[in-house]
Structure 1
């Protein structure tokens, strides 16, 4: 027995001694990439990589230079371009800590499939970065802009997209695995968030951009890019993006205003939202029923309302339900008419409810989607009216 225990202990020591460090990389030998931009120059790919300057990020050892630097190279493939950067970078570019991948709109219209194959195949690349589309610009332009609040622009872009999706809800924080899943699905096409460079681009590339209260240039998320498989075919507006997120149960919190009955506006802050998509076959035709339930608080009143009255609260709920429901219906109708691709996952809902019928519908689903009957039921309940009941504006009435 003792001999067996001794042998087992020796085996454990041997295993520990030969594992753990064989593939380690010294930090001083690596250039940590946090942002990656993909453009097309002719028939070749242009890769732009935003790399962290450790001494600038650390703070106490700062030399007063930019917290990031950029390396660029072109190649027939993305890996060729990445490896070619060794001719200008003193360290190997390490992409395991990417926060953001930006693809130019021009390349997205050609197709993003080949670019994604590299990212999904490279063993160093993880799946926890966001993918966005540089709207009306090159990807390299977005990576050149220096930003306030966060020293590293790519980290700022990651945090901004997370905050926007959580608090405002017109954007979609899409990671690699989700994007690939939508690309291969027959019942859903992908969407990606658009990223715009606003202001003076040239000044945005200089240190002066972060030395003023109001930066001359900045980066702003704007709209959702609609894809047909891996090709960009158009854009949804900010409000349409919010409707998309309502349908897909992605709204965690947001705000919206509606017209008061006698003029002015009242703003509601959505604090919870839950949506369900149900697919069915009726009279041999597919049908989609969407139910959205949300809870909101009164956040701002710019009109004369008696918020102590339950009838007033009921009327506000009706106005909110009508406005949000119509926005969802109009967005779905526009996608059906203009883009003719199912970005909402209605096909997946049909597949879940009736796999047998889905086999027949799946081959021509986009064509069926254009005439698909969709019913929206919006139920918004007001939970609180804030710290006060009626606005002080009521006391100011003549």
Structure 2
């Protein structure tokens, strides 16, 4: 009994010396960073750009509102490693760069072409960093140029990039968001290569005005950020870009499509807009006469969002005709896009290699060494099943009365 009592006293004393936040960080000591840009300089160093929140300009309420300055501040530094460059920023910043709330990582195209594996090592290794931020590639420009563009709807450009990408990937299948864990998984995966969304800064007129506070005070800003195409990687190196049709095909095949709009032909001419509400793709790999082959089964459900032709939607056979037309046109659309990727980029971004691996692990051991060559000539059989669930709140279009 005495021994137990003594141990209890010792435990209490020990706990008294272990309470408190030993690794606490005070907010007024941190430079909260919401976006980081990575570029490669001509001398082979990394140029790191940090978009840091200016808390004084984001204050709200009585006595708040700031002084009219910029809500974010840009800090830059060069280094032989990304870690070194970030630490060098303390030469300018009165606070230590704190990336735990990072929302966006922008990679310059020149760096992406040389390889993103090494700089990603820090981001995957740093215990202060969460992995739920989005990664994009600056198409035809530097990451630093992207992060310097002020935005209108969101005071903080990083938030606008993050939210726009999320909304666009949900409503328009030509864009796709990817986190750090997903990217690294694709890089190390056998039978699937990484893809990242591209971002550009459209600057019209005077660059000094476009990158100043005046940009957000105009109805038609001279500088806008927009997403454009998907960047294709071979391992960790950028090898090409997908156009919009190819990008849509990628999101459909990889089951990333949430919603989009597809224009389909009407039976007697004209167009109708098909709003995709649900999409699922099953990829099946197989060996036929000792050679790899892929079967794609694509199932799509959606609504008629717009009708610009003379058709009678009150008849079930009309809906069936539109569904058949969609299936035929979609199959041709997907097939052409896949062939273009096979001929131009020549790397498997769809995960066809993974499907072969699942179907026949022993055969995959022989195929994986030269999979890119096999992918170039890989037969892909596509079956599309499209369904129209709803035609909207009205039956036939008022265009019928005009007719």
Answer whether TM exceeds 0.5 for this pair: yes
Specify the alignment match of 1:154 in structure 2.
158
Specify the alignment match of 2:376 in structure 1.
370
Specify the alignment match of 2:249 in structure 1.
243
1 CA distance for matches of 2:177 and 2:225?
16
Q: CA RMSD in A?
A: 1.9
**Which of residues 73, 79, 88 is equivalent to 1:75?**
79
Specify the alignment match of 1:135 in structure 2.
139
Deviation, 1:186, is 2.0
2 CA distance for matches of 1:142 and 1:8?
59
- Structure 1 residue 211 corresponds to structure 2 residue 220: no
1 CA distance for matches of 2:387 and 2:317?
13
1 CA distance for matches of 2:5 and 2:239?
66
Deviation, 1:2, is 11
Contact 1:109 1:231 in 2 (8 A): yes
1 CA distance for matches of 2:351 and 2:12?
50
Deviation, 1:3, is 8.4
- Structure 1 residue 288 corresponds to structure 2 residue 294: yes
What per-residue deviation string (whole Å, max 9, x for no partner) do you get for residues 229-288 of structure 1? Answer: 111111111221111010001111111111222222100111111111111122211111
Name the count of aligned residue pairs: 397
1 CA distance for matches of 2:359 and 2:377?
19
Specify the alignment match of 1:54 in structure 2.
55
What per-residue deviation string (whole Å, max 9, x for no partner) do you get for residues 37-68 of structure 1? Answer: 11111111111100001122233422111110
2 CA distance for matches of 1:216 and 1:17?
59
Structure 1 residues 308 and 93: alpha-carbon distance in aligned structure 2, compared to 1, 3 A threshold: same
Specify the alignment match of 1:314 in structure 2.
320
- Structure 1 residue 40 corresponds to structure 2 residue 40: yes
Deviation, 1:10, is 7.6
Structure 1: stretches of 5+ with no match in the other structure: none
**Which of residues 275, 283, 293 is equivalent to 1:277?**
283
Contact 2:35 2:50 in 1 (8 A): yes
Deviation, 1:203, is 2.8
Specify the alignment match of 2:228 in structure 1.
222
2 CA distance for matches of 1:341 and 1:170?
19
Specify the alignment match of 1:383 in structure 2.
389
Specify the alignment match of 1:23 in structure 2.
23
Contact 2:107 2:143 in 1 (8 A): yes
Specify the alignment match of 1:360 in structure 2.
366
Structure 1 residues 92 and 263: alpha-carbon distance in aligned structure 2, compared to 1, 3 A threshold: same
**Which of residues 290, 301, 305 is equivalent to 1:299?**
305
SS of equivalent residue, structure 1 residue 25: coil
1 CA distance for matches of 2:283 and 2:60?
49
What per-residue deviation string (whole Å, max 9, x for no partner) do you get for residues 341-372 of structure 1? Answer: 10101111111121111111111111111111
Contact 2:283 2:294 in 1 (8 A): yes
1 CA distance for matches of 2:348 and 2:219?
43
1 CA distance for matches of 2:362 and 2:16?
52
SS of equivalent residue, structure 2 residue 58: helix
**Which of residues 178, 185, 197 is equivalent to 1:181?**
185
2 CA distance for matches of 1:167 and 1:36?
26
Structure 1 residues 55 and 306: alpha-carbon distance in aligned structure 2, compared to 1, 3 A threshold: same
2 CA distance for matches of 1:224 and 1:319?
28
Q: Give the 4+ runs in structure 1 shifted more than 6 A.
A: none
1 CA distance for matches of 2:152 and 2:372?
43
Specify the alignment match of 2:115 in structure 1.
111
Further displaced range: 154-163 or 194-203? 194-203
Deviation, 1:11, is 4.2
1 CA distance for matches of 2:12 and 2:219?
59
2 CA distance for matches of 1:233 and 1:72?
27
Structure 2: stretches of 5+ with no match in the other structure: none
Structure 1 residues 101 and 20: alpha-carbon distance in aligned structure 2, compared to 1, 3 A threshold: farther
1 CA distance for matches of 2:221 and 2:60?
21
SS of equivalent residue, structure 1 residue 225: strand
2 CA distance for matches of 1:303 and 1:6?
89
Structure 1 residues 13 and 298: alpha-carbon distance in aligned structure 2, compared to 1, 3 A threshold: farther
Structure 1 residues 291 and 2: alpha-carbon distance in aligned structure 2, compared to 1, 3 A threshold: farther
